[in-house]
């Protein structure tokens, strides 16, 4: 391929076009939503995750199913979704006064055409769902999952199969592990569910997928000088990036408070657990556990399953919530100032 | 010639990149069983099962010994709690750049350069937490047939953790109230208690932490000389790297029911209750002990075994979280303090 100096103007135009293409290719939406990058809507993502949870229930071995049934019926699953999407496009790094084209007319005239741009868009989508694990087996849900064959998506995992079946299967098996080894001298029967108070199992996964795609073009052309007014230099730096952070917190637990409430008259059979319950109430009433996190944990233990899941989701989220970042930075700065030199 | 060099380099780069990416991080959602160092592939369920079975093995050491009866009483009065936190993170980074240049006729320096680059970075993180509390007598009855695991130095959580030693030590300590000299015929590492073992009170806990990091990468690049008067590839490079970190935290706590203890211990329990009870003095609520941690410690000492274990797990977990939580809490208080009164939120 030979360099054609006569076509220098065309090369500059091609450079400009390439720059523009790179600038918009990975990041070109007005309102960043999951669909832009993943080609899957939010509804489909949630539907897919629910179908995976159903697959987790269905994947239990035949000999496990009868034992797992009461646990599945009594369990509650909660999901907290947080999708953070941001896009950035920049021309000449957004620096004002950056030279794009240089014109010359001999040594008498030199003129620079400058230009830069910097664009950014961000969107944070957050929602949560809490439902009964048993409800996933409803006919309506089974029908909607029947024709779904979702594959793994390596680039944007949340748009594909993320392994929620493993979460549900592990939770049910862990419940069975501690349940079935239990001493049968303290069982409390309720609505056909054979369960025991006080195991406090809350199983949670906090999954974060972050994908960043970026592209850049950085070019400069120096054109042969000729007589007259002419374009002599062309430079362009364009870059674009898109970052998607998809966070899914899932928490599972099962009803225990129902058993306790309905079986208060049976506390004679389960005095240890009754005493433990009264003990927790006393610690809270007398304000003996002064750390707010410990208080929340003691409250969580005796709450209804849905509330326990909601509290767990909140706890998991608040640990690394970006909304707390300013307070954390300020507090850290203050602590640093108080340190001895 | 140049094109063959380029294709060879590109082939090596691609091979290196694929190997690097595949070795260190290749899962959609990081789980213990997806770590390249987890052999044999132990799942979360397997890990929990193994921990319980190791604890059972520790308790089984008392069978057919002189201490069997005393140990049995202690086991029946004890609750055990486990708090697991698995933090797994994988990262893959793939990038490339291509430098194009136009060389002027006559062998001059390149008159035009265009660098095109692109990349994709994928990061997946999973924090799995769960906790459960059960009776130690349940653990003693666990079905552990065929459960035997060797140590895994690279990925300890998947191998033997020696929880048997922990369970054994706890029960042994609980049967220890009045030390006498170790004599011939004594079993184990401590002397047998002379009198009633129901004297010792307190929580026994252990906080295990394992962290593993593995990484791999490839960074090939090639530079080519251009012939004059042509446009072509001046340089090309590829950057592929992958890493995976695993941090596994396990808190295990044991505690006994207060009813198990002797009259002397019950009296001490009543005294502690007085210290932590709030009383009203001239319209003001006060308690004899004011230090928050001390109040909680006294309440914990008086609590039922399950609550003792629960409070112990919360205490240890809070200590770990304090590194991040304390600045956050302090910062929130400062921000609330600095805010004008009319902008304060309810409850502040």
Judged by a CB distance cut-off of 8 A, whether residue B348 touches chain A is no
Q: Encoding tokens for residue B134? A: 């059960």
Chain A hits for B305, Cβ within 8 Å: 272, 276
Using the beta-carbon criterion (under 8 Å), do B327 and A216 form an inter-chain contact? no
Residue of A341 and A82 predicted with greater confidence = A82
B 155-184 residues inside an 8 A Cβ radius of A:
none
Q: Which residue of B has its CA nearest to A19?
A: B116
Using the beta-carbon criterion (under 8 Å), do B31 and A177 form an inter-chain contact? no
- Quickly state the pLDDT bin for A50 (edges 50, 70, 90): very high
- Quickly state the pLDDT bin for B298 (edges 50, 70, 90): confident
Q: What is the CA radius of gyration of chain B?
A: 31
Strand B204-218 with B231-256, pairing? antiparallel
CA atoms within 13 A on the CB side of B233: 17
- pLDDT tops 60 at residue B24: no
- pLDDT tops 60 at residue A3: no
Judged by a CB distance cut-off of 8 A, whether residue B106 touches chain A is no
Distances (CA, A) of A230 to A4, A222, A236, A331: 16, 12, 18, 59
Judged by a CB distance cut-off of 8 A, whether residue B29 touches chain A is yes
Judged by a CB distance cut-off of 8 A, whether residue A113 touches chain B is no
> Which residue, A204, A197, A205, is CA-closest to A178?
A197
At B20 the pLDDT is 53
Q: What is the CA radius of gyration of chain A?
A: 30
In whole angstroms, what is the distance from residue B344 CA to residue B342 CA?
Answer: 6
In whole angstroms, what is the distance from residue B348 CA to residue B343 CA?
Answer: 10
* Rounded (to 5) percent helix, strand, coil in chain A: 45, 30, 25
Using the beta-carbon criterion (under 8 Å), do B113 and A219 form an inter-chain contact? yes
Judge whether B246 and B87 are in contact, CB under 8 Å. yes
A 202-241 residues inside an 8 A Cβ radius of B:
202-224
Express each pLDDT in A215-257 by its tens digit: 998 888 887 666 677 777 888 888 899 999 999 999 998 875 4
At B148 the pLDDT is 66
CA atoms within 13 A on the CB side of B146: 1
User: How large a percentage of chain B has pLDDT more than 90?
Assistant: 21
Using the beta-carbon criterion (under 8 Å), do B296 and A288 form an inter-chain contact? yes
Of A163, A181, A219, the CB nearest to B115: A219
At A191 the pLDDT is 30
Express each pLDDT in A140-182 by its tens digit: 888 888 877 678 888 899 988 899 999 999 999 988 876 543 3
User: Which of A160, A184, A327 to probe the B interface (max B CBs under 10 A)?
Assistant: A327
Residue A123 burial (CB count, 10 A): 15
Judged by a CB distance cut-off of 8 A, whether residue A63 touches chain B is no
* Range from B36-45, B128-137, B157-166, B285-294 carrying the lowest mean pLDDT: B285-294
Of B130, B143, B318, the CB nearest to A174: B130
In whole angstroms, what is the distance from residue A122 CA to residue A254 CA?
Answer: 37
A 139-168 residues inside an 8 A Cβ radius of B:
152-155, 157, 160-163, 166
Q: Encoding tokens for residue A151? A: 């594959």
In whole angstroms, what is the distance from residue B233 CA to residue A22 CA?
Answer: 19
* Range from A262-266, B258-262, B307-311, B319-323 carrying the lowest mean pLDDT: A262-266
Using the beta-carbon criterion (under 8 Å), do B31 and A166 form an inter-chain contact? yes
* Range from A198-212, A255-269, B11-25, B313-327 carrying the lowest mean pLDDT: A255-269
Judged by a CB distance cut-off of 8 A, whether residue A178 touches chain B is yes
β strands within A223-337, DSSP E:
229-254
Residue holding tokens 């029946």?
A: B76
Query: What is the rounded average pLDDT of the residues B141-170?
Result: 84
Closest chain A C-alpha to B22 CA, distance in angstroms:
12
Express each pLDDT in A56-73 by its tens digit: 999 999 988 888 888 898
* Range from A2-6, A69-73, B7-11, B225-229 carrying the lowest mean pLDDT: A2-6
In whole angstroms, what is the distance from residue B2 CA to residue B227 CA?
Answer: 10
- pLDDT tops 80 at residue A271: no
Judged by a CB distance cut-off of 8 A, whether residue B227 touches chain A is no
Q: Encoding tokens for residue A196? A: 């025991």
Express each pLDDT in B181-225 by its tens digit: 445 554 444 444 445 555 556 788 999 999 999 888 888 888 887
At A248 the pLDDT is 94
- pLDDT tops 70 at residue B106: no
Q: Encoding tokens for residue A214? A: 């970026």
At B146 the pLDDT is 67
Express each pLDDT in A288-311 by its tens digit: 887 888 888 888 888 888 888 888
- pLDDT tops 50 at residue A55: yes
User: Which of B100, B135, B318 to probe the A interface (max A CBs under 10 A)?
Assistant: B135
Query: What is the rounded average pLDDT of the residues B309-325?
Result: 84
* Range from A5-9, A11-15, A278-282, B22-26 carrying the lowest mean pLDDT: A5-9
Mean pLDDT of chain A: 78
Helices (H), B123-162: 136-140
In whole angstroms, what is the distance from residue B77 CA to residue A227 CA?
Answer: 100
Using the beta-carbon criterion (under 8 Å), do A334 and B334 form an inter-chain contact? yes
User: Which of A4, A181, A284, A315 to probe the B interface (max B CBs under 10 A)?
Assistant: A181
Query: What is the rounded average pLDDT of the residues B16-35?
Result: 70
**DSSP calls for A17-79:** HHHHHHHHSS---SS--HHHHHS--HHHHHHHHHHHHHHHHHTS-HHHHHHHHHHHHHEEEEE
């Amino acid at each position: 391929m030979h360099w054609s100096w006569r076509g220098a103007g065309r090369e500059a135009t091609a450079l400009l076009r390439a720059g523009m293409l790179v600038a918009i290719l990975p990041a070109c939406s007005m309102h960043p939503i999951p669909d832009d990058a993943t080609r899957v809507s939010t509804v489909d993502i949630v539907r897919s995750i629910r179908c995976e949870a159903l697959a987790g229930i269905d994947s239990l071995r035949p000999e496990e199913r009868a034992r797992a049934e009461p646990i599945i019926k009594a369990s509650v699953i909660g999901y907290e979704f947080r999708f953070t999407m941001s896009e950035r496009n920049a021309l000449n790094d957004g620096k004002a006064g950056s030279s794009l084209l240089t014109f010359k007319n001999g040594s008498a005239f030199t003129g620079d055409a400058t230009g830069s741009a910097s664009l950014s868009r961000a969107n944070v989508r957050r929602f949560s769902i809490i439902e009964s694990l048993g409800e996933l087996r409803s006919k309506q849900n089974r029908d909607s999952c029947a024709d779904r064959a979702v594959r793994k998506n390596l680039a944007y995992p949340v748009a594909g199969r993320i392994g929620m079946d493993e979460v549900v299967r592990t939770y049910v098996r862990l419940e069975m592990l501690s349940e079935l080894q239990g001493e049968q001298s303290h069982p409390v029967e309720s609505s056909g569910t054979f369960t025991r108070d006080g195991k406090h199992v809350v199983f949670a996964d906090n999954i974060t997928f972050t994908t960043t795609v970026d592209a850049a073009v950085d070019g400069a052309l120096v054109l042969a000088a000729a007589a007259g007014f002419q374009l002599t230099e062309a430079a362009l730096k364009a870059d674009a990036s898109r970052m998607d952070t998809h966070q899914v917190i899932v928490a599972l637990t099962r009803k225990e408070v129902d058993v306790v409430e309905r079986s208060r008259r049976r506390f004679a059979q389960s005095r240890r657990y009754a005493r433990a319950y009264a003990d927790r109430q006393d610690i809270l009433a007398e304000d003996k556990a002064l750390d707010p996190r410990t208080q929340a944990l003691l409250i969580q233990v005796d709450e209804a399953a849905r509330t326990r899941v909601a509290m767990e989701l909140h706890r998991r989220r608040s640990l690394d919530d970006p909304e707390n970042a300013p307070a954390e930075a300020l507090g850290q700065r203050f602590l640093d100032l108080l340190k001895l030199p | 010639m140049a094109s063959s060099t380029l294709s060879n380099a590109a082939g090596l780069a691609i091979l290196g990149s694929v190997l690097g990416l595949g070795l260190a991080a290749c899962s959609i959602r990081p789980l213990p069983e997806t770590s390249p160092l987890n052999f044999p592939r132990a799942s979360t369920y397997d890990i929990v099962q193994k921990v319980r079975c190791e604890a059972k093995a520790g308790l089984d050491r008392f069978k057919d010994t002189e201490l069997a009866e005393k140990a049995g009483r202690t086991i029946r009065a004890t609750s055990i709690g486990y708090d697991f936190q698995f933090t797994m993170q994988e990262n893959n980074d793939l990038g490339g750049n291509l430098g194009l240049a136009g060389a002027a006729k006559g062998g001059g320096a390149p008159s035009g350069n265009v660098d095109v680059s692109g990349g994709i970075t994928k990061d997946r993180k999973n924090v799995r937490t769960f906790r459960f509390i059960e009776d130690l007598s349940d653990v003693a009855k666990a079905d552990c047939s065929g459960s035997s695991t060797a140590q895994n130095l690279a990925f300890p959580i998947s191998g033997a953790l020696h929880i048997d030693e922990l369970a054994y030590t706890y029960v042994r300590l609980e049967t220890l109230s009045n030390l006498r000299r170790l004599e011939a015929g004594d079993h184990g590492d401590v002397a047998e208690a002379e009198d009633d073992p129901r004297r010792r009170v307190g929580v026994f806990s252990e906080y295990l932490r394992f962290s593993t990091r593995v990484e791999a990468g490839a960074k090939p690049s090639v530079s080519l000389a251009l012939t004059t008067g042509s446009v072509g590839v001046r340089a090309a490079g590829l950057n592929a790297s992958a890493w995976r970190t695993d941090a596994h935290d396990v808190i295990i706590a044991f505690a006994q029911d207060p009813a198990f203890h002797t009259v002397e211990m019950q009296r001490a329990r009543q005294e502690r209750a007085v210290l932590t009870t709030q009383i009203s003095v001239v319209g003001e609520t006060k308690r004899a002990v004011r230090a928050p941690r001390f109040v909680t410690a006294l309440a914990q000492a008086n609590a039922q075994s399950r609550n003792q274990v629960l409070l112990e797990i919360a205490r240890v977990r809070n200590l770990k979280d304090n590194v991040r939580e304390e600045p956050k809490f302090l910062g929130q208080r400062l921000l609330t303090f600095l805010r004008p009164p009319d902008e304060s939120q309810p409850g502040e």
